[in-house]
């Protein structure tokens, strides 16, 4: 308030002196007005000339710009448009729901010889909404790319949010290196890195279900290197927290798991392409609970995976017909204490599948997978580790209709011999993606 | 075991070092037309290869391991942009670990930034099919757009390979003169095509149509990128009774069936255009591409 009372007299004084110089001011104003008018006409003339020149410019004259460096030859019309959300990350939503029919009660599901991790069941009977995923990703700056995947699912009547992936990845490291940090799915094997909604089949292979609880993801860092060769060669490794199955309890001061992987790949002619890989995960488990919560394992878990993918598309154009063959072999060795009793186990599993797009929008596929366990030690008798003399296996058939790139409808039948009594399973499933156009990995 | 690791390490070392010292600038082109243009401008200072062929749909190829390997060694990436490669290019860029060619760096070049795009959708909705928010990406089918992109690409080559800047400038001058003469020739040859009504299979030709004055009266794909059903083809057939067309235009990479179905019932001839370099025997370079395109159009329009 005091300030205003001090300023006010100054303003009044200035105004008084202005009226005193009124004539001079009026003169100045008219001069200014004249100046303005001349400039306006001048600008108009210049604008008109510019327009004339632009429309008269022959289409081929653009090469004259070449020496002017990077100046665009013709501006794109959308260049002027600025939207407030232009810098928002790409966002997409994945909706996924399944109708399941089982000849046996899925609550009784088990894989004899294996203590299963979380969410390793065959799914629910009847109508069930699977996870709805929210994905955001974008380049952070010229050095980093970031991605976030949230899964929304209902568990025991409550909607839960799970942070599936949240990582950054470098874009500008020299010599073919790429580093990744945060929470991500490990790059071991082939299927492990993918979110289940991009899988060809409704459910993961038994080997993934039993040995990796679907897939292994954790907090940590990854470094990989692509060789400067004609043949695709990539090698890399990860150090991870070790909080999730097959690790557990974030052993070794939160550095409880490490992996190494190598991938090779290339083309054979124009119609065939392939990728092969070998990876190893060493995980330490500290009181790793099984899905039912009744069992606990502490010790070492070592997973080795060999994978091979072969794709065919006539002339390399998959639009009309294409075929994909995919197989992986998983081996897991565990050694430690199971419910405080000695246990050492060797477990193997594999699957092979082929999916054929026989006409646009339609795909059909078959898959066979099996598991076997050789568990020893005092812990085995009368526990879930006892195989009961049965090696689980399963055969599946799939029919898929994709109205567009963004929608899939699937019908799948499983003859599931996870347990000695065969379970006949039928799934009707949709996976749809809304929003940004995601790129598809090989 | 130790021996095995030594062997593996030795092999790796060998592969890394045994690569030929890259004398030529490695250009990773997304489509054959840009590989041809880069080669045209760069001569023996450039070694250009294309990620797609004329028989592949540039919207839908797989991010194959061989392409990651090629991207890894690229000095310059030349693509159309406007989301044409949205399904595979971002993934290749992220997986190859090549800092030189990331978007925003001089090693990343998008042709669509240098020409005026047509068919910018007023409404963005996936119900409209495979729409491109920035406009129709099939921009190279107008030869005058090649002129614009060539100027910008020559400047970019000179920027990233400054030692040979004068060489690129000279080659571009030479190319621009020859191209300008060819454009004039094509325009004269194509004069009879002005106003000719056509049916297209995919809306891949708005630039060609605008340039030569062809009139698109119908498209077989009900919406861009959506395979037509028989009901939709029947609708096109009945629409053609009110607005007759002279022939059907299809790119070499498109499925033949929809256009053959319509050709039979509407009694219309089909012209298969090379669409890009390599799409026909005569389309071995950019000049051949347009020579052949116009020759085929004239042959069928007569």
> Mean pLDDT, chain A, as a whole number?
86
CB contact under 8 A, A439 and B227: no
* ∠ CA A391-A396-A399, rounded to 5°: 175
pLDDT score for B98 = 94
A21 — pLDDT class (breaks 50, 70, 90): low
pLDDT score for B16 = 52
Q: Does the pLDDT of residue A433 top 50, yes or no?
A: yes
| % residues pLDDT > 70 (chain B) | 92
Residues 6+ apart with CB under 8 A from A360: A319, A320, B227, B255
Residue A149, Cβ density class (10 Å: 0-12 exposed, 13-18 middle, ≥19 buried): buried
Q: How many helices (H) and strands (E) does chain B have?
A: 10, 8
- If one counts every other C-beta atom within 10 angstroms of the C-beta of residue A344, the result is 17
> Mean pLDDT, chain B, as a whole number?
90
**pLDDT tens across B232-251, in order?**
888 899 988 888 999 999 99
Chain B residues near residue A225 by CB distance under 8 angstroms = 97
Find the closest chain A residue to B64 by CA distance.
A442
Higher pLDDT: B231 or A186? It is: A186
Mean predicted confidence (pLDDT) in B156-172: 96
Residue A286 φ then ψ, to 5°? -125, 110
Find the closest chain A residue to B171 by CA distance.
A66
pLDDT score for B41 = 97
Q: Does the pLDDT of residue A73 top 50, yes or no?
A: no
Q: How many CA atoms lie within 13 A of B17 on its CB side?
A: 6
DSSP assignment string, A310-369 = EEE-GGG-TTS-EEEEEEEEEEEEEEEEETTEEEEEEEEEEEEEEEEEEETTEEEEEEEE
pLDDT score for A24 = 65
A415 — pLDDT class (breaks 50, 70, 90): very high
Alpha helix (H) ranges present in chain B?
A: 2-18, 32-42, 65-72, 89-96, 143-160, 165-189, 206-212, 230-242, 257-266, 286-301
Closest CA to B150 of B134, B169, B123, B172: B172
Least confident of A15-24, A374-383, B83-92, B149-158: A15-24
pLDDT score for B129 = 79
Mean predicted confidence (pLDDT) in A314-322: 92
- If one counts every other C-beta atom within 10 angstroms of the C-beta of residue A302, the result is 14
Least confident of A45-49, A181-185, A251-255, B75-79: A45-49
DSSP assignment string, A136-155 = EEEE-SSSEEEEEEEEEEEE
Q: Does the pLDDT of residue B197 top 80, yes or no?
A: yes
Least confident of A39-43, A71-75, A232-236, A361-365: A71-75
User: B18, B62, B73, B252: best mutation site toward chain A, by most A Cβ within 10 Å?
Assistant: B62
**pLDDT tens across A220-244, in order?**
999 999 999 999 999 999 999 999 9
| % residues pLDDT > 90 (chain B) | 74
Rounded to whole angstroms, how far apart are CA atoms A410 and B219?
A: 30
Instruction: Produce one character per residue of A266-289: b if its CB has 16 or more CB atoms within 10 Å, e if not.
Output: bbeeeeebbbbbbbbbbbbbbebb
pLDDT score for A1 = 44
CB contact under 8 A, A404 and B147: no
pLDDT score for A42 = 62
Find the closest chain A residue to B66 by CA distance.
A266
pLDDT score for A142 = 85
DSSP assignment string, A194-254 = S-GGGSSSSS--HHHHHHHTT--EEEEEEEEEE-SSSSEEEEEEEEE---STTSBTTHHHH
pLDDT score for B198 = 95
CB contact under 8 A, B176 and A63: yes
pLDDT score for B9 = 62
The radius of gyration of chain A's CA atoms, rounded to the nearest angstrom, is 32
- Of A78, A178, A442, Cβ closest to residue B64: A442
| % residues pLDDT > 90 (chain A) | 70
User: B65, B82, B256, B276: best mutation site toward chain A, by most A Cβ within 10 Å?
Assistant: B65
- If one counts every other C-beta atom within 10 angstroms of the C-beta of residue A324, the result is 20
Residues 6+ apart with CB under 8 A from B148: A62, A73, A74, B114, B115
H or E element that contains A19: helix A2-20
What's the predicted TM-score (pTM) here?
A: 0.84
pLDDT score for A79 = 46
**Structure token pair of residue B132:** 């491109």
* 3-state secondary structure at position A175: helix
User: A75, A171, A326: best mutation site toward chain B, by most B Cβ within 10 Å?
Assistant: A171
**pLDDT tens across A323-344, in order?**
999 999 999 999 999 999 999 9
């Amino acid at each position: 308030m005091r300030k205003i009372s001090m300023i006010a007299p100054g303003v009044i004084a200035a105004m008084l002196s202005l009226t005193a110089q009124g004539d001079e001011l009026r003169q100045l104003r008219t001069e200014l007005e004249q100046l303005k008018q001349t400039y306006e006409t001048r600008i108009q003339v210049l604008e008109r000339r510019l327009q004339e020149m632009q429309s008269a410019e022959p289409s081929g004259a653009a090469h004259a710009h070449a020496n002017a460096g990077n100046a665009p030859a013709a501006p794109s019309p959308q260049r002027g448009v600025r939207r407030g959300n232009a810098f928002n990350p790409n966002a997409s939503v994945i909706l996924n729901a399944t109708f399941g029919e089982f000849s046996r009660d899925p609550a009784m599901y088990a894989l004899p010889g294996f203590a299963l991790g979380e969410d390793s069941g065959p799914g629910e009977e009847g109508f069930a909404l699977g996870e709805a995923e929210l994905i955001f990703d974008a380049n952070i700056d010229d050095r980093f790319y970031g991605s976030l995947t949230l899964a929304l699912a209902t568990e025991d009547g409550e909607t839960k949010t799970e942070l599936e992936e949240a990582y950054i990845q470098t874009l500008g490291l020299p010599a073919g290196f790429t580093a990744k940090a945060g929470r991500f799915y490990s790059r071991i094997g082939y299927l492990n890195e993918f979110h289940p909604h991009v899988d060809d089949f409704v459910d993961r292979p038994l080997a993934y279900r039993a040995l990796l609880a679907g897939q292994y993801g954790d907090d940590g860092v990854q470094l990989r290197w692509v060789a400067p060769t004609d043949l695709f060669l990539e090698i890399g490794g990860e150090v991870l927290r070790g909080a999730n199955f097959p690790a557990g309890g974030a052993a070794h001061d939160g550095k409880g798991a490490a992996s190494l992987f190598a991938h090779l790949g290339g083309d054979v002619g124009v119609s065939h392409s392939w990728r092969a890989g070998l990876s190893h995960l060493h995980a330490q488990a500290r009181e790793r609970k099984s899905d039912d919560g009744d069992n606990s394992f502490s010790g070492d878990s070592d997973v080795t995976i060999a994978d091979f993918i072969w794709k065919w598309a006539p002339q390399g154009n998959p639009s009309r017909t294409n075929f994909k063959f995919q197989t992986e072999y998983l081996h897991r060795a565990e050694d430690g204490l199971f419910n405080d009793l000695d246990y050492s186990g060797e477990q193997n599993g594999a699957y092979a599948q082929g999916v054929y797009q026989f006409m646009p929008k339609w795909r059909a596929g078959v898959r066979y997978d099996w598991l076997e366990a050789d568990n020893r030690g005092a812990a085995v008798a009368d526990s879930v580790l006892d195989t009961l003399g049965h090696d689980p296996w399963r055969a599946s058939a799939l029919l898929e209709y994709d109205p567009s790139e963004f929608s899939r409808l699937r019908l799948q039948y499983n003859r599931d011999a996870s347990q000695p009594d065969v379970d006949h399973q039928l799934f009707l499933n949709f996976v749809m993606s809304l929003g940004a156009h995601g790129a598809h990995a090989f | 075991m130790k021996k095995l690791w030594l062997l593996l390490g030795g092999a790796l070392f060998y592969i890394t070092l045994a690569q030929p010292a890259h004398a030529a600038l490695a250009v990773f082109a997304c489509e054959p037309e840009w590989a041809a243009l880069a080669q045209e401008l760069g001569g023996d200072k450039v070694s250009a290869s294309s990620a797609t062929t004329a028989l592949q749909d540039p919207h839908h190829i797989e991010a194959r391991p061989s392409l990651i390997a090629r991207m890894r060694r690229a000095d310059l990436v030349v693509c159309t942009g406007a989301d044409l490669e949205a399904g595979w290019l971002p993934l290749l860029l992220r997986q190859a670990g090549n800092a030189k060619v990331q978007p925003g760096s001089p090693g990343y070049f998008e042709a669509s930034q240098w020409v005026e795009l047509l068919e910018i959708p007023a409404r963005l909705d996936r119900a409209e099919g495979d729409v491109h928010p920035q406009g129709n990406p099939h921009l190279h089918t107008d030869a005058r757009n090649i002129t614009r992109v060539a100027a910008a690409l020559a400047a970019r080559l000179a920027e990233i390979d400054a030692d040979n800047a004068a060489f690129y400038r000279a080659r571009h001058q030479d190319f621009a003169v020859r191209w300008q003469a060819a454009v004039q020739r094509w325009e004269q040859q194509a004069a009879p095509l002005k106003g000719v009504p056509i049916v297209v299979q995919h809306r891949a030709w708005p630039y060609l149509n605008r340039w030569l004055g062809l009139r698109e009266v119908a498209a077989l794909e009900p919406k861009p990128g959506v395979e037509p059903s028989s009901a939709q083809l029947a609708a096109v057939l009945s629409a053609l009774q009110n607005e007759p067309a002279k022939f059907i235009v299809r790119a070499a990479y498109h499925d033949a069936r929809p256009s053959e179905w319509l050709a039979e019932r509407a009694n219309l001839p089909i012209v298969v255009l090379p669409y890009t370099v390599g799409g026909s025997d005569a389309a071995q370079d950019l000049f051949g591409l347009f020579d052949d395109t116009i020759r085929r159009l004239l042959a069928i329009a007569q």
